[in-house]
Amino acid sequence: MKSYLISQLTFKSSNADLETFRKAYPHDWLLWEPGSWKPPGSTTLVGQGLSSTPANGNPTGQALALVLEPKRDGGQLTLGRGPECDIFINDGTLSQLHLVLMQAAGGGWTVRDAGSRNGSTLDGVKLLPGAPLPLKAGGKLVAAGVTFTYYDPAGMLQRLQVAQGLV
C-alpha cells in the first residue's frame, strides 16, 4: 500500500495544475486524518506534529494519504487492525477486519462495514454490514475511533492547495 505524509505530497505537488497532478497521481485517495490513536490496550495517544489542516479545521498532526489501488481481482481493499488487511491500522478501536472498500464499475469506490465491533459511519450515516455505500469526494468515513476522508484526484489537489495556503 503506497502512502504519503500529506506534507510530503504537498511539497511534491506544489504549483501543480490538475492535469499534472492526475498524471502523477491518477488514483483515488483515503486520507487518514490526524487525531487520537488508541493502541491495543488501554492507552490513548494524541498525535502532535506538523499541521496539515485536516478537513475538520483542527490542525493537530500529520495526515497520511493512502493510495487506493486494489491488490487483488475484484477491485477490493480491506481495512482493519489485522495484519492480513490491505490497509493495516493498529488502532485498538478497530476490528481485525473493519471495512471493505470496493472499486465501483464506473469509477470511484464503495465501502461497507465488515461486521465490526465498534461500527462505522459515512457522512454521519451508519454503515450496515454487507450494505455498501458509495464514497463521494470529500466524504467523511469514521471507523470506530479513526477518521478518514475520501478524495478523487481533483479533491486531493484542492486539499493540498489549502495546506499550501493557495486556496
pLDDT at 142 over 80: yes
C-alpha triplet 159, 36, 136: angle, nearest 5°:
35
Instruction: Over range 3-9, report the average pLDDT.
Output: 92
- Give the integer Cα–Cα distance in Å for 26 and 134: 19
Percent of the chain with pLDDT over 70: 84
Residue 123, CA atoms < 13 Å, CB-side half-sphere? 9
- Give the integer Cα–Cα distance in Å for 160 and 166: 9
- Give the integer Cα–Cα distance in Å for 18 and 21: 5
Tell me the pLDDT tens digit for each residue of 48-80: 433 334 444 444 578 999 999 987 667 899 999
pLDDT at position 57, please? 45
Mean pLDDT, the chain, rounded, equals: 86
pLDDT at position 67, please? 95
pLDDT at 37 over 70: no
pTM over 0.85: no
Higher per-residue confidence, 115 vs 167: 115
